[in-house]
Amino acid sequence: MTRILLTGSTGQVGWELQRTLMTLGEVIAVGREISSCGLLMDLSQPDTIRHVIREVQPDLIVNPAAYTAVDKAESEPELAMAVNGTAPGVIAEAAKQLGAGVIHYSTDYVFNGHQATPYTEQDEPEPQNIYGKTKLAGEKAIQAVGVPHLILRTSWLYGLRGKNFLLTMLKLAREREELKVVDDQVGAPTWSRMIAEFTAQILSQGTQDLIGFLNKNSGIYHLTASGQTSWYGFAKAIFEFDSKRSEHKLKNLLAISSQQYPTPATRPAYSSLDTQKISRTFGLALPSWQRNLELVLGS
Ligand SMILES: NC(=O)C1=CN([C@@H]2O[C@H](COP(=O)(O)OP(=O)(O)OC[C@H]3O[C@@H](n4cnc5c(N)ncnc54)[C@H](O)[C@@H]3O)[C@@H](O)[C@H]2O)C=CC1
């Protein structure tokens, strides 16, 4: 049976992966807290990474864990780099020694946002903030090791668990009559469960020879819902689709510019990702972001 070591299982994607990966093998979930199997893996502590991988002897390591606080990363660059930039390389090294494969997640924030059409995997990254720089360093670290891997870049994740834009908007709509939301950053809101389901769907295509499959397909792939919108457009759709609309106090949703809502980290103005490569390679039909949202709010 395939042994799958999963990090970040308390996070948005990791939580969903715990369920979807179960169909592919035995999932051993580890994190910063001591797990039920007595293991602790803190990505800012390389020794704990090596120790856990040695103990578990996985066939596959799936790493959705990350330092994801985009604004806080500006004031904690060393910790963000340790978790997002250095740890993926340590994971990849340890996996290579064992003959295991790696699935890793990255972000649309590796791009500068100057384009007006979706970024492909060939486009040159140029991150505008510390978080994006550290995530790019993580991608490069994995690639440099040359372990069989998939790096899945996604964007604007949300779901009914964790800390995300959807839950913030739903909470604020019950508390406030007026909300101002940024309308000049464009991307693709993506449901965390969709990422986990497609990850499992891709891996299920390689169950006969997982390492051969990952070797053949190693590389970076863009994986998001299809279509694009602004944060304002996303907020508007959230309020329209919410089945509990009657509980909202909200009367006015106002579109503002990023200049009117300054944040410590600069965000790319445009970060839509072109998903043709992943759709073609693995035969995936990616749903629209609106379809994703309807499913989440209808559940
Ligand atoms: N949240 C978003 O909007 C986006 C996220 N991504 C990427 O997708 C992946 C999944 O993101 P989410 O599920 O939203 O993240 P999340 O913030 O919901 O969860 C992160 C997980 O990482 C774990 N973690 C953090 N620091 C750790 C450490 N030092 N040692 C061990 N575990 C640690 C946390 O405990 C948590 O389980 C990440 O690689 C992230 O960079 C990409 C684009 C957008």
Segment 178-221, tens digit of pLDDT: 999 999 999 999 999 999 999 999 999 999 999 999 999 999 99
Token pair in block for residue 239 = 């309020």
Active site residues: 131
Looking from the CA of residue 157, the nearest atom of ligand 1 is 3
Q: If you measure from the C-alpha of residue 30 to the centroid of ligand 1, how many angstroms do you get, rounded to a whole number? A: 13
The total number of structural domains that make up the chain: 1
| Cα–Cα distance for residue pair 66/277, rounded to 1 Å | 24
Q: How confident is the model at residue 38 (pLDDT cuts 50, 70, 90)?
A: confident
Q: Within a domain: residue 138?
A: yes
Q: Within a domain: residue 267?
A: no
Q: Within a domain: residue 46?
A: yes
Contact 273, 222 (CB under 8 A): yes
Q: If you measure from the C-alpha of residue 195 to the centroid of ligand 1, how many angstroms do you get, rounded to a whole number? A: 13
Q: Within a domain: residue 169?
A: no
Contact 172, 116 (CB under 8 A): no
Average pLDDT over the chain, rounded to an integer:
96
Could you read off the pLDDT of 91-136 as tens digits, one per residue? 999 999 999 999 999 999 999 999 999 999 999 999 999 999 999 9
In terms of residue numbers, what domain contains 196?
Answer: 3-164+189-226+273-288
Q: Within a domain: residue 293?
A: no
Q: Residue 245: its pLDDT value, please?
A: 78
Looking from the CA of residue 79, the nearest atom of ligand 1 is 29
Q: Residue 70: its pLDDT value, please?
A: 97
Q: If you measure from the C-alpha of residue 7 to the centroid of ligand 1, how many angstroms do you get, rounded to a whole number? A: 9
Here the CATH number for the domain that contains residue 193 is: 3.40.50.720
Contact 95, 252 (CB under 8 A): no
Q: How confident is the model at residue 37 (pLDDT cuts 50, 70, 90)?
A: confident
For residue 107 and ligand 1, the question of a CB distance below 6 A is answered with: yes
Q: Within a domain: residue 268?
A: no
| Cα–Cα distance for residue pair 136/226, rounded to 1 Å | 23
Q: How confident is the model at residue 34 (pLDDT cuts 50, 70, 90)?
A: confident
